[in-house]
Structure 1
């Protein structure tokens, strides 16, 4: 009984004998197409964040504690994430950050800030004030 020679496409990489790696990508950082059921849960193009409120929320952050700031604007627990981004298939993920010191801060809820998760006054802009709560900017 002899060995059968396997044929592989030319884009497979063999690093070690008997080890087959995934096909090489033609461009660095090229995204692979994913199966349809995965694409439903992890879309290529993430949804736009929606305006949760038009004013920031002031609260006290405790030093050393890790927080997850809602990026999508769909959380019922604003300004923090409750997992709504996953179940609504937005493709967005919360911003995880650690408070450096205990202090009162204003966290953005309009999702248009340039300094996430902190408010920078963007909620006062005409664009945010014209937008409806729950709609993307």
Structure 2
């Protein structure tokens, strides 16, 4: 099972999944610890084996730290993914990508805007790049590498 984790948009303030308080942190997704707490709770209570963090909301380095905390708490077999929806500049996406490379994320989805931006990130970062925002017809796909 995969969890798609959002910085608090759909949970009442001070609650975690299932309406129960977090065990640690403030419980309102104000920091990386709060997101890692939620991820750990979903893993322990529901058996979630991977997560995709909806990035592009908090400071990019705080979002990278959330992934680091999840890796530390849940181990190397837990799947990590991040999707900032193309909101980061190429430079920011490269900085984050290089920071999280050692975590071995499964993929980095739409780290920068556009196919060219994502390609530039891919040249500088050793993480598979995924997209779901750009190609909408066959001609939008670039040539095979």
Q: Output the TM-score relative to the length of structure 2.
A: 0.22
Which is bigger in relative contact order (C-alpha 8 A, separation at least 6)? 1
Normalized against structure 1, the TM-score is what?
A: 0.22
| Structure with max Cα Rg | 1
